[in-house]
Amino acid sequence: MEDEHQQPWRVLEFYSGIGGMRYSAMKAGVNAKMVEAFDINDLANDVYQHNFNHRPFQTLTAADLDRYRANVWLLSPPCQPYTRQGLQKQSADARASSFIKILDIIPQLMQPPTMLFVENVVGFETSDTHQQMVQILKENEFVTQEFILSPFQFGVPYSRPRYFCLAKRKPLSFCNPEYDGQLLCVPEPLHDRKKSIPINENDRLTSTFDEILQTCLPIERFLESASTTNLDAFSPEGSLNQYSVPSSLIERWGSAMDIVYPDSTRCCCFTKSYYRYVKGTGSLLATIMPKIRDKTSLEELSLRYFTPREVANLHAFPKEFEFPEHVTLRQRYALLGNSLSVAVVAPLLRYLFSDP
């Protein structure tokens, strides 16, 4: 951790969305001053402004960047070019180009950043954008450590594996320099500086998936209403009724639904299409616990969607986070689906910001 008497790190947040990076920096307790945030999405900026009392910038020019005298850049560029749903055009896709353009500015800066943090979907690590990123970082004297981690590895019953790149410019270095240039799939190096995990053990540790799930809190701890069986219970986002899954959807898509129970210790990644599409967009909650789970018909489970607040809880967003009223339900899910897990990013940032 930074010495108290030192100046706070000056941080820029690129692709700020609804502020997942900023919440993570707050949770990490790092000595950081958020200097500016950037995002082109008006609605995301409304949400950011509502919570942080500051509206992100929509445009960015190279000349501006030096003005901020920032030491740290946090970036979560749009992920579509690398996802399976995307066409895998990778860096030829316009969405990837703004990211590389920003990195290309680094050597032109009077005061380039000394630390970088990049978040993206799994698949990014094999893309040509990743290759370009690594190349640029190397040319600019950065050492990197990369991770693929998911909230369930941090006690949250939620699967959302994401790719992370942590970069420090020499002479700065990581607490565990033995991982320089490596891609790790376990969180241990973040928790325990002394404990060194041989890289070949990395594989073994990832295979204990079931054991790790056992250590997660049950889903009910992330739900809005204590009584999950009461669909009429009032919730801040209106009656839970609007979240019940219509039987027409169950008939049509039942076999593709991922169903979890309040006592489950896992659920699937919520994407930006949750509530609009069923397949692969996130789990549904059974509000009635049947005696025999596998034999009960879906209609009897009283299925409902997780509310946006519950998705935010699974993303480990703080209680204070809220949406301005004008943001519709679908928009809330879309913005949350693009965001990130504070439970994962906070320890990564703490590790990045700590001195050896």
| Residues with active-site annotation | 79
Residues 104 and 348: their CA atoms lie apart, in Å, by 24
- Residue showing tokens 């949406």: 323
> Binding segment for ligand SAH among 38-46, 180-188, 251-259, 284-292 (CB under 6 A)?
38-46
Pick the binder of ligand SAH from 9, 11, 12, 20 (CB under 6 A).
Answer: 20
Six-digit token string for 206: 């990832």
Q: Which is nearer to ligand SAH, 47 or 250 (CB)?
A: 47
Q: Per CB under 6 A, does 338 bind ligand SAH? A: yes
146 bridge partner residues: 165, 183
Candidates 11-19, 62-70, 121-129, 147-155: pick the segment binding ligand SAH (CB under 6 A): 11-19
- 343 binding ligand SAH? (CB under 6 A): no
Please report, as residue ranges, which positions from 234 to 273 form the binding site for ligand SAH (by CB under 6 A): none
Q: Is residue 72 close enough to count as binding ligand SAH by CB under 6 A? A: no
Among 71, 76, 129, 144, indicate the residue that binds ligand SAH (CB under 6 A): 76
The answer to whether the beta carbons of residues 197 and 176 sit under 8 Å apart is: no
- Between 303 and 343, whose beta carbon lies closer to ligand SAH? 343
HSE value, Cβ hemisphere, 13 Å, CA-based, for 338: 19
Least gap, CB of 147 to ligand SAH (angstroms)? 16
CA dist., res. 311 & res. 333, Å (int): 8
Contact 93, 49 (CB under 8 A): no
d(CA 341, CA 20): 7
Which residue, 98 or 206, has its beta carbon nearer to ligand SAH? 98
Helix (H) or strand (E) holding 309: helix 308-314
Choices 35-43, 168-176, 181-189, 289-297; region in contact with ligand SAH by CB under 6 A:
35-43
What strands lie across the sheet with 162-169, from one edge to the other? 32-38, 9-14, 72-75, 115-121, 162-169, 142-149, 183-184
> Which residue of 31, 80, 98, 206 would you call a contact of ligand SAH, by CB under 6 A?
98
> Does 44 interact with ligand SAH (rule: CB under 6 A)?
yes
Under 8 Å between Cβ of 165 and 144: yes
Q: Write out the residues near ligand SAH by the rule CB under 6 A.
A: 15, 17-21, 38-41, 44, 76, 78, 95, 98, 338-340
